[in-house]
Structure 1
């Protein structure tokens, strides 16, 4: 890209951000702005594809295409735009998925007209894939930072995703799935890895674009953002079938098995559905999934996702999954799931993550890496390598956010080129070494087969002189209080039932 192109792109980015801030003054948050931008960008790019040199037949009815918006203003524009959103939501394929349950959130027709003009002034199809993608990813991250919207639960830190992909190292002509894909971060990072590190012929590039990725996302607004995110990054096409299903991935045994499963299943321990009771009040009911291929029946959402991911992975496949601490130490169903996973797969690596890197408060999470295996009488897991990037590590979202280079030592220890040639950094002489292996027998001998393993001395408990800065301490306290409040609310809901 020339310097002039870069200047032009940065100018577009600044205009989009500036208009977003203008709409925020009217009470339109990042999430609502993102949705409206998605609808209009999709229509504009479809319009560009319908004209030379592409001259493609688009699935959008003429009365609801991009040009139908250009000659209207005021109330006429607002009425037409609202009807357009409703009608396109009933169409098939990606078109219907993008516009499903869509609504006009920009109540001022003059501002809607200005946004349409802003988008109309650019040739989006000609713009570089990276530039379009960066604009949209930037908005998604801003939206995740808006804690009131709750969008953070659908956004995994991109630095963490990048490191997970670097360890898994996906190959061409192989399938990649995410059963709770949020805004599509794992797909984009895998796509970037493949285009940057793997030499592909034309057929392999076609496979990457149309056949590599498969996801599920049950929240319509989040699924819409994911589809647009993929489309702007050149994954899928405007008139192709949706790569992301609206179905709850946990309900049924998967029909297809995949080479890679990369996921960060939703936070919150319970799977539930919301319904209206006889008094007209909203209630939640715990969901359990009675699947014959599951080892145990439970309403614990993450334990169900572990079992589901195991069932959707090929016997030659690789999984990398972000999971909260309760999956590592909880008894009952948790212990059963851990034992079965150790026996039927090769659970070879656990990365312990610090707090302060996710947009939901106080989350203590880990990344579990395992390889799929065929049926066997003997346990497949021989040793579990643990990297403790939690003890004595402090991150905050604003002042000290997680960067991919923070985890470079973990990647080096993981040794993606040949993970069977690893060396511990822990030893009796170096008790603070963060990389340590445990044999299958050592794990099984632990209470409840707990995988919640730590050995490094916590300096904050031992040395008051080394306390973090007061603002970091304050943020930690707020995170812990909010996390505790969430737990209390869950208990209250259970008691009410």
Structure 2
């Protein structure tokens, strides 16, 4: 085993043991019920531990500390005699209120980040002694070590997956990592482009985009530009907290994430300066927005269906020439009324060049709603749409929590894609093309299935094809005879 591999293995084993001990400690506390309570607590403590490492760097360079000395992690966490009710009272009545109250008028100031992160934080632990044991475990993580940070990012992703599983059971679900990776890769992001996820959840799209682009950011200026250009909006406090920690662990020291209602924010920001180059997102669907949000949209596009509202807002948010990859349910692809208007707007203002139809159970077990990946560019009207159907592997009927869809299952689609220019695409058993004239005639219905009859005929033996034709002809003849008999009886 190479020295670096051995070092990574040792670091992972050590930190896995730390996280396991931390979770065992939290399980003993009567105030915490399940991972939906335990992971947020672990997240904001990790956040403070990581932020303290950044504070230490500021002090070395002579910069002013963001957090007052009495409230810095090292001041209270490193004092092992500070425990029990005294520690608990400090955390609940002094530290958290202090962090919530931080603010600055300067955009990008870490004080605003801290106040947003801790705006929704509550400490649910009831035992100050167990809290001290938990803090002592987190102190074993060295956020000045790139090895520890890298390993913690990996372990945190595993914790988030467990969190998503728990959240899914309560009606929420998040985008599987293979879906995220495929969407990011087929959008072909470039260094210097602004990238937004307006429903960022725990930050999966932004982490993947950062992972894709970070190797190109070879200098401090480029690294700062990359971090600034990764933007997210998340409405709910818990996913927002988890997102901030996720991005921090992946090397984004000052995440550009807003805790707000994305629809309200996007529809209010009409200035071209707020538009972005790329949008990568899986917006919530199947729910309804409040009336005030729906009424803030232009006349004729006011609906409470979240998927349609997000699609409309995304079109407006893209710069001219910008591009988007978005997850949408089948229900957003067809239907009359406002949905038709929004799809028409999409096809008239953007080039919807590809719709990838996913297998039905990709998001199982949380929902069986069939979903699609839409890829479009704000470069003018659509002339044709390519559809690509991804089917489960041979012998598999679907997916589950224990047997999810794998990234390798997107390989054939990625190869067919034709690179950034989408050159030399060909129709095959999975891919077909539809002209915009046909779509307009159908009332802008995008729920277009794979043409099965024509595609299947060449693969059938000639005898079977003739039998199918004779059977069809016999059925038509029988229907005509029956109709003739009815007409004769009425004469």
Give the TM interval when normalised to the shorter protein.
Answer: 0.7 to 0.9
Change over 3 Å in CA distance of 1:145–1:4 after alignment to 2: same
Residue 243 of structure 2 is aligned to residue 243 of structure 1: no
Which residue in 2 is equivalent to 1:63? 70
- Tell me the CA shift for residue 361 of structure 1: 2.0
Query: After the TM superposition, which residues 199-210 of structure 1 pair with which residues of structure 2 at under 5 Å, given as runs?
Result: 200-209=218-227
In the TM superposition, 1:269-418 aligns within 5 A as 269-272=287-290, 287-292=293-298, 296-358=301-363, 360-373=366-379, 380-390=381-391, 394-418=397-421
**Whose helix proportion is higher, 1 or 2?**
2
| Residue matched to 1:257 | 275
The aligned counterpart of 1:268 is: 286
Find 2:238's aligned residue among 215, 221, 233.
221
**TM-aligned CA distance change 1:75 to 1:291, over 3 Å:** same
Determine the C-alpha separation between the residues in 1 that align with 2:177 and 2:348.
Answer: 31
Q: Which residues of structure 2 form unaligned runs of 5+?
A: 104-111, 454-491
- TM-score (norm. length: structure 2): 0.81
CA distance in 2, matches of 1:17, 1:40: 15
5+ unaligned residues in a row in structure 1: which ranges? Answer: 273-284, 375-379, 426-432, 459-497
| In 2, Cα distance between equivalents of 1:203 and 1:421 | 38
Deviations 1:334-353 (A, max 9, x none): 11111111111000101111
- Check whether the contact 2:22–2:137 (CA below 8 A) recurs between aligned residues: no
Deviation track 1:82-125 (CA, whole Å, cap 9, x = no partner) reads: 12122212213111122112111222323211110011122123
Against the structure 1 CA distance between its residues 22 and 390, is the aligned structure 2 distance closer, same or farther, given a 3 Å change threshold? farther
Q: Distance in 2 between matches of 1:151 and 1:17?
A: 27
Q: Greater Rg, structure 1 or structure 2?
A: 2
Q: Look up the match of 2:438.
A: 442
Give the C-alpha shift of residue 214 in structure 1. 1.6
Deviation at 1:202, TM superposition (A): 4.0
**Residues 148, 215 of structure 1: alpha-carbon distance in 2 compared, 3 angstrom cutoff:** closer
User: What's the Cα RMSD here?
Assistant: 2.4
Give the 3-state SS of the residue equivalent to 2:295 in structure 1: coil
Runs of 4+ in 1 over 6 A off after TM superposition: none
Q: Which moved more, 1:160-169 or 1:47-56?
A: 47-56
**How many residue pairs end up in the alignment?**
425
Is 1:91 the counterpart of 2:102? The answer is yes
Q: Secondary structure at the match of 1:262?
A: strand
Contact 1:98–1:227 (CA under 8 A) maintained in structure 2: yes
CA contact under 8 A between 1:434 and 1:456: conserved in structure 2?
Answer: no
Report if the CA contact (8 A) 1:295-1:340 is conserved. Answer: no
Partner of residue 446, structure 2: 451
1:94-243 pair list within 5 angstroms: 94-128=113-147, 129-147=149-167, 150=170, 152-153=172-173, 155-196=174-215, 198=216, 200-209=218-227, 211-237=228-254, 243=256
Contact 2:55 2:66 in 1 (8 A): no
